[in-house]
Structure 1
Amino acid sequence: MDYVEIARAETARGELVLRERRDEGAPTVLELRANGVFVMDNLETSTEQALAESALAQVADPKAVVVGGLGLGFTMHAVLADHRVEKCAVVEIEQALVDWMRDGTVPHGPALLADERVRVVVADVAVALAEAPRSSYDLILLDVDNGPGYLVHEVNAALYEEPFLRSARDVLRPGGALAIWSAAEAPGLVDLLDRVFDSAEGYAHDVLLQDRAEKYWLYVARVTSEA
């Protein structure tokens, strides 16, 4: 298997690399890595699809959605496939990744970002939500890590702590929800979410990753009343 680097950026959080995996007789795969750690590719997108679909099913009327983390755009794409969504704010901390999506370095990027419902905000999602108007969104999907136990950057640990979660609750309307995807069970997260929100639950999801059966978790915290 050969790897060909497509783009690289040095950021305040380390290096961000977009590369292709080329294997004879197989389709070329686009892969995103941060600080040498695999983040995602365009071959296996079932977890992003499951996150979006499962989260959207938790809210009766998800007109306004926040996606924390752009990645290669597949979570956002799945959100936009729901006709109920009228606007989708995507918060991404890495300007380089947004640029690669916009300029076609990520080939499918320009088409996804051309959707008039999309607004990309280049910022730390914690800062963006702290500055957002109260009761302005129906659903927040946190897709910056594979859960609290698999952080892309150590500073992301703050996203699974009470101050950030209270900011998330503040921007949700009654009937809204925060959804967090995790590659492993995180029972402590449910307890914390339950303290901040009106209710919280974890749901196990069976996911097939390249013919491997895996179990992922979706943690959903709901708002039923004004904060």
Structure 2
Amino acid sequence: MESVIVDGGLVLKHRADGHLELRANGIFVMDTRETSTEKALATRALELHAQPQHVLIGGLGLGFTLEAVLADPRVEAVTVVEIEPRLVEWMRAGRIPHGPALLADERVRVEVADVAVVLRESSPEAYDVVLLDVDNGPGYLVHDANGALYEAPALADARRATAPGGTVVVWSAAEAPALLEVMAQVFDDAEALSYPVDLQGHEETYWLYAGTVTHGNGTN
């Protein structure tokens, strides 16, 4: 039997198939059936770094990116930035079953804020890895204001907040060549990585866009 928790534009559905589904403003965000790319968002970035001690995650979702980050013993501190306070409360309260243990990890600090603002106000080179999964990508925004996050000024803020040798990775539900073009301008190197997924019986392709920081001080 399905059950639904609704708070404003945020919906957490316990589906009849046993999986959880998260929607925001009527838009499907993710479910617990297909989580491979949320995990790949973390593992791909972490494997590119020799010592990823400090990680920032933009977007809590259902916690699978955070779970993958915490599985890496090299990680010493994780800042999770989530704009929806109710989602953080649901996670802490166990409405998302694995949530309490994830957020109780002593390495985790949660900020209820706009990740674009946090990155803009971060100290230079504060993080080794920055992971952004706040929408379904630049073509499928959960909040219209998030569009600026995929443009050069916000990506430059992300670069400035990332130490040399680090990576900024953006998750997208669809191919986004314009995003890759902007990231190639902002970062020292940029690449698009495609991942085939089974989304509720339909074959889809999700994408990760990775920008590498080789040089500090925002220079290419």
Counterpart of 2:119 in structure 1 is: 129
Equivalent residue of 1:44, what SS? coil
Corresponding residue number in structure 1 for 2:81: 91
1:19: which partner in 2? Answer: 13
CA distance in 1, matches of 2:123, 2:65: 23
The partner residue of 1:74 within 64, 75, 98 is 64
Equivalent residue letter for 1:204: S
- For 1:105, the aligned partner's letter is R
Superimposed CA distance per residue, residues 45-81 of structure 1 (whole angstroms, 9 cap, x where no aligned partner): 1121122211222222211111100011111001111
Q: Distance in 2 between matches of 1:184 and 1:105?
A: 29
SS at match of 1:167: helix
Question: How many positions carry a matched residue from both structures?
Answer: 217
Matched residue, 2:158: 168
CA RMSD in angstroms comes to 1.5
CA contact (8 A) 2:34 2:198 kept: no
String of CA shifts for 1:168-225, please: whole Å, max 9, x gaps. Answer: 0111100011001112221111211111111111122233434544322211111111
Q: What is the identity, as a one-letter code, of the residue corresponding to 2:13?
A: R
Find the partner of 2:107 among 93, 117, 120: 117
Partner of 2:132 in structure 1?
142
Secondary structure in 2 aligned to 1:52? Answer: helix
Say which SS state the counterpart of residue 214 (structure 1) adopts: strand
Match for 1:183: what amino acid? Answer: A
Which consecutive unaligned segments of at least 5 residues does structure 1 have?
A: none
Q: Percent identity?
A: 59
Find the aligned partners of 1:41 and 1:207 in 2 and give their Cα distance. Answer: 13
Aligned to 2:7: 9
Structure 2 alignment gaps of length 5 or more: none
Instruction: Give the alignment's TM-score, normalised by structure 2.
Output: 0.93
Q: TM-score, normalised by structure 1?
A: 0.90
Runs of 4+, deviation exceeding 3 Å: 208-213
Select which of 178, 181, 187 maps to 2:168. Answer: 178
Residue of 159, 175, 188 corresponding to 2:149 = 159
CA distance change for structure 1 residues 57 and 208 in 2, over 3 Å: closer, same or farther?
farther
Looking at structure 2, the residues matched to 127 and 133 of structure 1 have their Cα atoms a distance apart, in angstroms, of: 12
